[in-house]
Amino acid sequence: MKDLLITIAQGLVDDPSAVTVDVDEPNEEGVTVYHLHVGESDMGRVIGKQGRIAKAIRTVMRAAATRNDQKVSVEID
């Protein structure tokens, strides 16, 4: 899952080397939180107009997690 998020984010940004992902342990509800970090100048590219790209990233991650019987959440830091 982490590799999927990194691949998606690196395709969107100008500086792929600045993309990092931190993963929290699953909480009491079983949700694993992924924290996506990108360069300051690439934040707009990852969030998109009115958050559309961020919403699409979260949707893809949720769909992939469902196939693996997991629950995930993506936060863009």
Q: Tell me how many domains the chain contains.
A: 1
Domain with residue 11: its CATH number is 3.30.300.20
* Interval 4-45: pLDDT, tens: 999 999 999 999 999 999 999 999 999 999 999 999 999 999
Q: With 90 as the cut, is the pLDDT of residue 77 above it?
A: no
Structural domain harbouring 56: 2-76
**Lookup result for tokens 């979260």:** 58
What size, in residues, is the chain?
77
Residue type (1 letter), 33: V
Q: What pLDDT does residue 10 have?
A: 93
Q: For 53-66, what is the mean pLDDT?
A: 95
